[in-house]
Chains A and B, each alone.
Chain A
Amino acid sequence: MINLIGGVPLYVLEFGDELVYFTPYTITLFLLALTFTVLVLISRPEKQVDIAFGGDAYRTKEISVSEMRFRRFMAIACGLATMGAMVTGDIFNFTLFTAMVGITNVGIVAAVKSLHVQDAAYQYGLVALAATVPLFAGAAIYAAVTGSLSMIELMKGTLPAVPLIAKGMLMLGVIGEGMAPFYAAKAEMFRAPGAPYVIMCSLSSLLLFLRVVEIVMLG
Chain B
Amino acid sequence: MIIRRISHILCNYDNLTRLFAGACLLLFIAGILLLPLPYSEKQLYPKTFDRNSSLDPYDRGGPPFTQVTIVSQYPENSPTAGLVTSYLTPFSLFLSQVTLHLGTTIVSHPGGIIDEILYNTRGLDTVVEATILFIAFAIASYIYRKG
Contact = CB atoms under 8 A, between A and B. Distances in A.
Interface of A: 14-19, 66-67, 70, 73-74, 77, 84, 88, 90, 92-93, 96-97, 99-100, 103-104, 106-107, 110-111, 119-120, 123-124, 126-127, 130-131, 133-134, 141, 143-150, 153, 159-160, 163-165, 168-169, 172, 176, 181-185, 188
Interface residues of B, number: 48
Interface in B30-77: 30-31, 34, 37-44, 72-74, 77
A207 to B, nearest CB: 17
Contact of B40 (A18, A145, A183): A145
B19 interface: yes
Contacts of A74: 135, 138-139
Contacts, number: 151
A contacts with B: majority SS: helix
A155 to B, nearest CB: 13
A93 B13 contact: no
B77 to A, nearest CB: 4
Contacts of B132: 96, 99-100, 103
B40 A134 contact: no
A208 B17 CA distance: 21
Interface of B: 10-17, 19-21, 23-24, 27, 30-31, 34, 37-44, 72-74, 77-78, 81, 120-125, 128-129, 131-132, 135-136, 138-139, 142-143, 146
A18 B24 contact: no
B27 A111 contact: no
A88 B122 CA distance: 12
Contacts of A93: 124-125, 128
Nearest to A126: B17
Given A96-B129, A100-B135, A160-B38, A17 B73 contact: yes
Given A18-B122, A182-B19, A134 B24 contact: yes
